[in-house]
Amino acid sequence: MSQEEQLLAKLRNPALKDSAFNELLDTYQERLYWHIRKIVITHENADDVLQNTFIRVYKSIQNFEGKSSLHTWMFRIAYNESLRFLEKNNKKGYEILDDFLPKSTSSVAEDAFFHPDEIQQKLHQIIDGFTEKQKRVFQMKYFDDLSFKEISKIINVSESTLKSAYYTAVKIIEEKIFL
């Protein structure tokens, strides 16, 4: 039995659920935080979405069907929670995402939790210019090190479409990074 299967068995056991959930937090919290952070941009928003993600995971673990790995399932929840957060804020009259994203490079550069060098800043500026699909796919593949199969399950898009978006993004970066 794999570590993930053992953890899942403990999570489904009411007597072990709380301690197993702490183990789950220790294992996945940082990776999910950075996955969310790339979508919602700010630390404060990422913390809120991360908390909502783990609440949803805790409440829904009994419904996990095992059609994907636990890791992929949680990334999908985090992705959906991030999008839900952005949509909710758009309805409240906050800036729409397209208006916000071009400013995200400057907010990354000013962020106390992130200290990019010149190349990293240029990379983030280029990524900010991508379409939403290219941006999400590139971030999940490059920064989160997810496979195309995992990304496909997270955002419900075919692997071939993801590969096309990713390699187009890589080509744009290669062309622009050395300008």
18-67 pLDDT, tens digit each: 999 999 999 999 999 999 999 998 999 999 999 999 999 999 999 999 88
103, pLDDT greater than 80: no
* pLDDT number for residue 112: 54
Q: How is residue 9 written in tokens?
A: 């068995």
Which amino acid, 28? Y
Residue 162: pLDDT band by 50, 70, 90 thresholds?
A: very high
DSSP letters, the chain, are --HHHHHHHHHHSTTTHHHHHHHHHHHHHHHHHHHHHHHH-SHHHHHHHHHHHHHHHHHHGGG---SS-HHHHHHHHHHHHHHHHHHHHHHTTPPPHHHHGGGHHHHHHH-TT----HHHHHHHHHHHTS-HHHHHHHIIIIIS---HHHHHHHHT--HHHHHHHHHHHHHHHHHHHT-
Place of tokens 């952005």: 86
* Banded model confidence at residue 98, pLDDT cuts 50, 70, 90: very low
Average pLDDT in the chain = 85
Mean pLDDT of 85-99: 64
pLDDT band at residue 123, thresholds of 50, 70 and 90?
Answer: confident
Q: Residue 111: what pLDDT? A: 56
First to last CA, the chain: 50
Question: Does residue 140 surpass a pLDDT of 60?
Answer: yes
Residue 178, pLDDT score = 72
- The pLDDT tens digits of the residues spanning 55-83 come to 999 999 999 998 899 999 999 999 999 99
